[in-house]
Amino acid sequence: MKFTLSWLRDHLDTEATLDELTARLNQIGLEVEGVENRGAALAPFRTARILSTEQHPNADRLRVCMVDVGLEDGANAPVQVVCGAPNARAGISVIFASPGTFIPGSEITIKAGEIRGQKSDGMLCSLRELGLGTEHDGIAELPENTTPGQSYANFAGLDDPVIEIAITPNRGDALAVRGVARDLAAAGMGHLRPWLAQTVEGTFDSPIVWENAFPEACPYVLGRTIRGVTNGPSPAWLQERLIAVGLRPISALVDVTNFFALDLGRPLHVFDADTVSGGVLTIRRGENDSLVALDGRTYAADAEDCVIADAAGVQSFAGLMGGGATGASDTTTSVFVECALFEPVRIALSGRRHGLNSDARQRFERGIDPALPVAALEAATRMIIELCGGEASEVVWAGEEPDWRREAALRFSRIAELGGLDVEPDLAVRSLEALGFALRSRDETRAVFDVPSWRNDIAAPITLAPQPGSTRDEAAAIAGVAAVEAECDLIEEVLRLRGLDAVPPVTLPLLGAVPLPSLSPRQVRGAIARRVLASRGMAECIGFSFTARSHAARFGGVPDSLHLLNPIAADLDQMRPTPLATLVQAAARNTARGLTDLSLFEIGAGFEESGLGLDGQRLIASGLRAGRTPRHPGRPAQDVSVWDAKADATALLAALGVPSEAVSVTADAPAHYHPGRSGVLRQGPKIVLGYFGQLHPGLWQALGQGGTAIGFELFLDAVADPKRRRKGAPDLPSLQPVRRDFAFLAESRVTAEALLRAARGAERTLIAGVSLFDVYEGEKVPDGMKSLAIEVVFQPRDRTPTDAELEAASAKVVAAVTKATGATLRT
């Protein structure tokens, strides 16, 4: 938001300096982003008059000028200046720079001296040398009646600094010069000047009327016709203000609307009334209408857009930008002035969809003063008639002013409790009244105020509303939340007017002598998984959480609840069921480019309609290996196998604190794995920790790939949080372990997992570990049978076991396996 100092003083009666005003703006939360003060750089330049000129005796192109520079030290002594400008002559008023002045256009500093033997005590300047133009044919000539000795910046109106402030999204009222002035006045920087729009009586019925078919987007709209106008350039004061804040003057009619958008924060629009067809302007939904807007671009309005149309079609993107066909031009003699209220969210969404930014959108999407339309229309009408002539019709309208009236209560004790600053109740009340809050009632502990119409951010209607069927307690709770928010809004205003720098800093209280963990267990599991998988030679990927619906179907269901209605791309329209879905695509792209050894992983979200985590979102550690292992001397390259995937998954589970003996494997992996070369990792019969195995050949081939790919998925949310245990000395046995191998002949249906579980439980006090090291099916075993070889580690604790004790423990292993699986010891 930009405005000049003089513009601010039109609304603020103050003696404060520019520095005091900008400092106060920062203190009350209207952050100053910059101040452009052209007058400061031009302060040394003064108006002057050439009294006489003579030809320089030693130079054909130079003249010696005697210059009246005004009163200086009580005397009006002429100054001699040597000048080479062809238009230097007696009697003209000029711009004079005394010695020591920096010339911005030439980047030099004037010095007193002699030029070709003639004394020269200054310089007569062109506008180019002041950095104000490009002319260079001679020195600048000022009007004849210019008094010598004036500040040129003041004379030319260049001593009006331009202030730019940052506006937070909730402060739509501060997008008006009057709103900024109101804040400064309430902060003690002067008094807000009264403003009252004078009514312009209509002398005829408007030939153009309103029809509102979209009241949800435009609850209230007014307008009136002004005929007999003469459009042309706006006066100098209006042009100078618009140029100073970065707007281009167009014509008097258009400049008036831009002026009130900045002055009162009230966007307006003028239609050339003679170009409006049918005599009716209709506010309706877009119907894929095409509009060539004032910026020259063509827009297509859909049903979510609010437009203003006549019998010929759409003539304005409501609240955003008018159309070129009905815009005011130099030939306009009759205008229709529009002043409307538009629903902020619809304006913001329409502007975002179409990439259409304008000053009107900026104000409408933050909320316009709903009580201002009538007064703003009257003020604009009067200015148009003053600048362009003409006569006004009666006002026509559709809809009615919204019921914006609301109240907010403030408990005085809460100012210190929430803001940490003690403010006297009387001072708090006076501060809010200065901002326009009307005191409704007050006692010793609280005050109730009527919120002014221009503060849409104070006690705004809460987005959470009681639903049909809500209990009385639920409705009361929602009302309580709204009251608390309104009170916080008032506290913020009171503290802001005291100055944000006056609020004392407060250290957050310590919750305990030992700080709480900075990461949740879920975050810790993700960090551990990332570290472990990277240490196993896998490269981390970060993919989109969505993929193509057809691709997601290969990894499970594609419920409509996870289908994206507004995807960033047509082939990214479904939330992915697992990060493995995007890893597969990344691997396919890499192998297609000649990479033969891929090891990728991702820690990310997978989505389902219901499951672990919030809203069906699960944290999954997925990994994928594809191609062949690297070639080394004495070790040929090999295809990746299902055991590589199992090794990755079990290593990660071990790092997460899941003991290997607590994990079992079943053969019911999802359909995107090879049905005979995959498994499900379980902890007990119900908890599924993840999957591993070779990817289904059909899936891999559908991506145009050959060879083998293996992968795994571990559900980190399914891993239990580690139990807090006291850390003591590790239990390190002093005796050597004893390792014995057993080979069992078992039916083919017997799983290695069942055999290992049976052996592990045979002698818990002595057995420290059981592992499978060989599986054989072939000629030397009967049909339907297989050989499973395991290693059992016996770990004595207090003494070395005897051979008899080891034989007894071995017999228990054999007996336990036989009983549980029917397997027999091979001989």
* Rounded CA separation 536/539 (Å): 9
pTM of the predicted structure, to 2 decimals:
0.61
What pLDDT is stored for residue 283 in this prediction? Answer: 95
Contact call for residues 492 and 485 (beta carbons, < 8 A): no
The larger pLDDT score, comparing residue 513 to residue 238, is at: 238
Residue 420: φ, ψ to 5°: 75, 15
Quick check: 818 pLDDT over 90?
Answer: yes
What does pLDDT average to over the chain?
89
Contacts of 335 (CB under 8 A, 6+ apart): 225, 226, 229, 253, 270, 271, 272, 273, 328, 384
List, in order, residues 6 or more apart from 363 with CB less than 8 Å away: 172, 175, 261, 265, 266, 267
Identify whether 507 is part of a domain: no
Per residue in 514-542, pLDDT (tens digit) is 777 778 888 889 999 999 999 999 999 99
Other beta carbons within 10 angstroms of residue 612's beta carbon come to 16
Separation between Cα atoms, residue 6 and residue 606, nearest integer Å: 59
CA 788 to CA 449: how far, in whole Å?
A: 84
Both 766 and 795 in one domain: the answer is yes
pLDDT value, residue 724: 62
Judged by DSSP in three states, 4 sits in: strand
Is residue 712 scored above 80 in pLDDT? Answer: yes
**pLDDT for the residue numbered 243:** 81
The pLDDT of residue 40 is: 81
Say how many CA atoms lie within 13 Å of 627 toward its Cβ: 17
Domain closes at, from 685, 718, 751: 718
Do β-strands 2-4 and 162-165 pair in parallel, antiparallel, or remain unpaired?
antiparallel
What would the pLDDT profile of 752-768 be if each residue is shown by its tens digit? 888 998 998 888 889 98
Rounded to the nearest 5 percent, the helix, strand and coil shares of the chain are 30, 25, 45
Same domain, 92 and 225: no
Instruction: Quote the DSSP letter at residue 175.
Output: G
Backbone phi, psi, residue 220, to 5° = -155, 130
pLDDT of residue 72: 55
| Residue 462 clears pLDDT 50, i.e. is over it | no
* Residue 466 pLDDT greater than 70, yes or no: no
**Position 467 pLDDT exceeds 60:** no
69: its two tokens: 């520079």
Position 163 scores a pLDDT of 93
Q: Provide the pLDDT confidence category of residue 464 given band limits of 50, 70 and 90.
A: very low
- 314 and 452 housed in the same domain: no
Structure-token match 């997460």, residue found:
656
Domain shared by 225 and 341, yes or no: yes
pLDDT beyond 70 at 612: no
Angstrom distance (rounded) from CA 664 to CA 673: 18
CATH number, residue 226: 3.50.40.10
pLDDT of 722 higher than 80: no
The residue segments making up the domain with residue 814 are 738-825
**631 and 676 inside one domain:** yes
> Which of the listed ranges 474-483, 510-519, 789-798 does the model predict with the highest average pLDDT?
789-798
Closest to 606 (Cα-Cα) out of 716, 475, 693, 705? 716
678 and 548 in a common domain: yes
pLDDT per residue over 664-709, tens digit each? 888 889 999 999 899 999 998 889 999 999 999 999 888 888 888 9
Cα separation, 375 vs 696, whole angstroms: 73
Residue bearing the bigger pLDDT, 612 or 308: 308
* 626, 705 Cβ separation under 8 angstroms: yes
Per-residue pLDDT, 135? 65
**What confidence category does residue 477 fall into, taking pLDDT thresholds of 50, 70 and 90?**
low
Residue 104 banded pLDDT, cuts 50, 70, 90: confident
Confidence check: pLDDT of 595 > 50? yes
Q: Are residues 309 and 324 in the same domain?
A: yes
Q: Is 487 contained in some domain?
A: yes
19 with 89, same domain: the answer is no
Q: State how far the Cα of 464 lies from the Cα of 422, in Å rounded to an integer.
A: 32
Q: What is the CATH number of the domain that holds 482?
A: 3.30.56
Q: Pick out the residues of the known binding site for Mg(2+).
A: 457, 489, 492-493
Asked, for residue 426, whether it belongs to a domain, the answer is yes
Indicate the helix (H) or strand (E) that contains 377. helix 373-388
pLDDT at 118 over 70: yes
pLDDT of residue 615: 55
Give the 3-state secondary structure of residue 490. Answer: helix
Inform me whether the pLDDT recorded for 374 exceeds 70: yes
Q: Domain with 79 in it: what CATH number?
A: 2.40.50.140
Residues contacting 237, CB < 8 A, separation 6+: none
Please, are residues 67 and 83 in contact by the beta-carbon 8 Å criterion? no
In this model, does residue 617 exceed pLDDT 90? no
Kind and range of the H or E element at 735?
none
Q: Does the residue 60 lie in any domain?
A: yes
Residue 546: count of CB within 10 angstroms of its CB: 22
Count how many domains the chain has.
Answer: 6
Any domain includes 459: yes
Q: At residue 463, does pLDDT exceed 50?
A: no
CA atoms within 13 A on the CB side of 175: 25
What tens digit of pLDDT does each residue of 395-438 get?
999 999 999 999 999 999 999 988 888 899 999 999 999 999 99
Helix (H) or strand (E) holding 164: strand 162-165
Least confident stretch, 208-222, 482-496, 531-545: 482-496
**Cα distance between residue 174 and residue 190, in whole Å:** 17
* Residue 164 scores a pLDDT above 80: yes
Token code pair at residue 2: 């930009």
Q: Are residues 394 and 420 in the same domain?
A: no
Q: Tell me the per-residue pLDDT of 32-70, one tens digit each, with 9 for 90 and over.
A: 999 988 778 888 999 999 999 999 999 989 999 999 998
Cβ 167 vs Cβ 3: under 8 Å: no
In this prediction, residues 287-301 reach a mean pLDDT of 89
Q: In the block, which residue shows the tokens 């499978």? A: 772
CA distances for 805 relative to 763, 799, 802, 814, angstroms: 11, 12, 5, 14
The alpha carbon of residue 794 and the mean position of all alpha carbons in its chain are separated, in whole angstroms, by 62
Last residue of a domain, one of 399, 428, 445: 399
- 727 inside domain: no
Tell me, yes or no, whether 615 and 696 share the same domain.
yes
Tell me the C-alpha distance between 186 and 384, whole Å: 32
Residue 803 has pLDDT above 50, yes or no: yes
537 three-class SS: coil
Q: Using CB atoms within 10 A of its CB, is residue 631 exposed (0-12), middle (13-18) or buried (19+)?
A: exposed
Tokens 């002949």: give the residue.
745
The Cα 387–Cα 628 span in angstroms is 83
State residue 476's pLDDT score: 54
Taking CA atoms, 795 is separated from 743, 770, 809, 814, in Å, by: 20, 12, 11, 18
- Most confident range, picked from 255-259, 455-459, 558-562: 255-259
Concatenate the DSSP letters of all residues of 418-484 into one string. HHS----HHHHHHHHHHTTPEEEEE-SSEEEEEPPTT-TTTTPPPS--PPTT--HHHHHHHHHHHHH
Note the pLDDT of residue 471: 59
Classify each residue of 568-585 as buried b or exposed e, where b means 16 or more C-beta atoms within 10 Å of its C-beta: eeeebbbbbbbbbbbbbb
**CATH code: domain of residue 6:** 3.30.56.10
Q: What pLDDT, on a 0 to 100 scale, did the predictor assign at position 307?
A: 94
Residues 359, 321 share a domain: yes
CB 390 within 8 A of CB 227: yes
Which residues fall in the annotated binding site? 457, 489, 492-493
**Between these two residues, 636 and 16, which has the higher pLDDT value?**
16
Q: Is residue 187 part of a domain?
A: yes
212: which strand partners? 283
Are 669 and 713 contained in the same domain?
A: yes
H-helix segments, 469-578: 472-498, 521-535, 549-552
Tokens of 374: 């009538």
Q: What is the pLDDT of residue 246?
A: 83
The CATH number for 616's domain is: 3.30.930.10
Q: What is the pLDDT of residue 609?
A: 79
Residue 535 lies in a domain: yes
299-327 as b/e, with b when 16 or more CB fall inside 10 Å? bebeeebbbbbbeeebbbbbbbbbbbbbb
Mean pLDDT across the stretch 581-596? 89
Q: Going by C-beta distance under 8 Å and a sequence separation of 6 or more, which residues neighbour residue 327?
A: 254, 270, 271, 272, 294
What is residue 314's predicted lDDT score, i.e. its pLDDT?
Answer: 92
